[in-house]
Amino acid sequence: MKMVFRWFGEGNDTVPLSYIKQIPGVEGIVWALHDLNPGEIWPIERILEVKQMAERHGFHLDVVESVNVHEDIKLGLPTRDQYIHNYIETIKNLAKVGVKVICYNFMPVFDWIRSDLFKELGDGSTALFYEKAKIEGISPDKLVSSFLENKEFSLPGWEPERLQRLTELFEAYENVSVGQLWDNLKYFLEHIIPVAEQHGIKMAIHPDDPPWPVFGLPRIITNRENIRTLLRLVNHPNNGLTFCTGSLGANPLNDLPGMIREFGDRIHFAHIRNLKRYENGDFIETSHRTGDGSVDVHEVVKAYHEIGFTGYARPDHGRHIWNEECRPGYGLYDRALGIMYLWGIWDTLVRMKEG
Ligand code: DNO
């Protein structure tokens, strides 16, 4: 298991690289050029700037999260070929500096969705919260207006470019069935996987978060059966997964350790975190510790250890603790605690195996 840590870039992240360096066992940063819109080619000079910065602190930048997929590719529009061409150019540029894994997602319009970014956990800390009734009871129209007014909703993981096109995108997706979304993903993968293979890059799709359709938009990377379908779409080792326990774990039917054992060699990147599910479908993100949430993080790490996982892993969203002011879910303190929990389990398993 190679431990890495997500970093949003100079001036864009509250956590300095010199602090990340002090977390035990972190060897690389997980990065992206966040100011670029989906569909733009990542210029090599910009990539080299990040490389130099990372290397000054002794970090590698083997993992990129994310190279976002342009909406026209997901929609299967004729313009997709140009955007796929650009995606391929970005893959090639990333390969030039030694990137090994590209994380991306295929969620229509939205990335991860929460109703509250700073929900009290009861001990003075706050965390990301999903209130099912609030999110699923709202019409896309209301969502659009409330989001644009920036009042009721605050949805992270979005590019401003998408926001401007929200109404138009909702209309466009009315013509896209689940089957078509799969076809569009297949078309994309058939074009990029051969290039990724040639350039030594593993593609790692991130599951949908939450793993069910939201606002009437299809979502497909949600469970075991669908992940099997995804891996068969282009049955090649470079077509793999970012296995996110937080996203998939929101559905109690997902047997996470079992899925890790089944998909093992196709998991190129592990996102490990916990969350607490409520009976009404709400969930809140908790500390990484097994006892604090509904995901058995201990069993998850055990499954990775059993399959001899040598891929990249990162702690995922943390709570906001000790009055830290940070990007929602991406503070230093709780993610650092999360890492020490993961190492604690991992190192014990290694020691036990050694006898
Ligand atoms: C949330 C992240 C996601 C992820 C993208 C990958 O914190 O795990 O936003 O980066 O879905 O494309």
Break the chain into its structural domains and give their ranges: 2-354
Cα separation, 345 vs 299, whole angstroms: 10
- How confident is residue 150, by pLDDT bands cut at 50, 70 and 90? low
Nearest CA to ligand 1 atom 12: 104
Longest dimension (CA), the chain: 61
Tell me: pLDDT of 160 over 70. no
- pLDDT exceeds 50 at position 93: yes
Residue 18 has pLDDT above 90, yes or no: yes
Q: Ligand 1 pocket test: which of 106, 155, 209, 220 has the largest number of ligand atoms within 8 Å of its C-beta?
A: 209
Q: How far is the CA of 111 from the centre of ligand 1 (A)?
A: 7
Q: Using the predicted structure, report yes or no on whether residue 272 has a pLDDT greater than 80.
A: yes
354 C-alpha to center of ligand 1: Å?
A: 35
User: Ligand 1: which atom is nearest the Cα of residue 244?
Assistant: 8
Q: Place 152 in a pLDDT band, splitting at 50, 70 and 90.
A: very low
Beta bridge partners of 319: none
Residue 115, helix vs strand vs coil: coil
Pocket (CB within 6 angstroms of ligand 1): 65-66, 103-105, 111-112, 157, 206, 244, 271, 317, 329
What pLDDT, in 10s, does the model give residues 228-260? 999 999 999 999 999 999 999 999 999 999 999
The Cα-based distances of 145 to 130, 150, 171, 239 in angstroms read: 20, 8, 15, 38
Q: Whose CA is nearest to atom 1 of ligand 1?
A: 112
- Confidence bin at 326 (pLDDT 50/70/90): very high
**What confidence category does residue 126 fall into, taking pLDDT thresholds of 50, 70 and 90?**
very high
Given a cut of 80, whether residue 146 has pLDDT beyond it is: no
Per-residue pLDDT at 211 = 96
Cα–ligand 1 centroid distance for 157 (angstroms): 7
Residue nearest to atom 6 of ligand 1 (CA): 104
pTM for the model stands at 0.95
Mean pLDDT of 275-291: 97
Half-sphere exposure of 132 (CA within 13 A, CB side): 13
Ligand 1 test: best mutation among 103, 205, 248, most atoms within 8 Å of CB?
103
CA of 280 from ligand 1 middle (Å) equals: 25
Task: Check pLDDT > 50 for residue 154.
Answer: no
Q: What is the CATH number of domain 2-354?
A: 3.20.20.150
Question: With the C-alpha atoms ordered 183, 184, 189, 191, is the resulting torsion angle positive or negative?
Answer: positive
The residue to mutate among 4, 36, 66, having the most atoms of ligand 1 within 8 angstroms of its beta carbon, is 66
Give the total residue count for the chain.
355
Cα-to-centroid distance, 227 and ligand 1 (Å) = 17
Ligand 1 atom nearest residue 104's Cα: 12
Catalytic residues: 206, 244, 271, 316-317, 330
206/170: higher pLDDT: 206
Q: What is the DSSP string of 332-345?
A: SHHHHHHHHHHHHH
Structure tokens at 225: 């059966």
Lookup: tokens for 31: 């990065």
> Minimum mean pLDDT among 62-66, 114-118, 165-169, 307-311: which range?
165-169
Looking at residue 189, its pLDDT comes to 98
Pull the structure tokens for residue 96. Answer: 């030039």
C-alpha 17 to ligand 1 mean position (Å):
20
Instruction: Kindly tell me if the per-residue pLDDT of 113 is higher than 90.
Output: no
Using the predicted structure, report yes or no on whether residue 156 has a pLDDT greater than 90.
no
Which of the 8 DSSP states describes residue 228? H
Check pLDDT > 80 for residue 157.
Answer: no
> CA 49, CA 351: separation in Å to the nearest integer?
40
Q: Which candidate, 41, 34, 40, places its Cα nearest to that of 7?
A: 34
Provide mean pLDDT across the span 318-326.
95
pLDDT at residue 141, rounded to an integer: 65
Joined together, the tokens standing for residue 44 give 């090599």
| Paired tokens of 254 | 């997902």
Local confidence band at 325 (pLDDT 50, 70, 90 cut-offs):
very high
Whether the per-residue pLDDT at 15 is higher than 90: the answer is yes
Backbone angles phi, psi at 202, to 5 degrees: -95, 130
Candidate of 6, 31, 105, 247 to mutate for ligand 1, largest count of ligand atoms within 8 Å of Cβ: 105
**pLDDT value for 151:** 46
- For all residues of the chain together, what is the average pLDDT? 93
What residues contact residue 269 under an 8 Å CB cut-off, 6+ apart? 63, 65, 101, 103, 204, 241, 242, 243, 311, 312, 313, 314
Q: Compute the distance from residue 314 Cα to the ligand 1 centre, in Å.
A: 12
Ligand 1 atom closest to the CA of 330, numbered from 1? 7
Q: How far apart are CA 279 and CA 260, in angstroms?
A: 25
Specify which residues 272 forms β-bridges with. Answer: 315
- In angstroms, what CA-CA distances link 205 with 110, 128, 298? 15, 22, 24
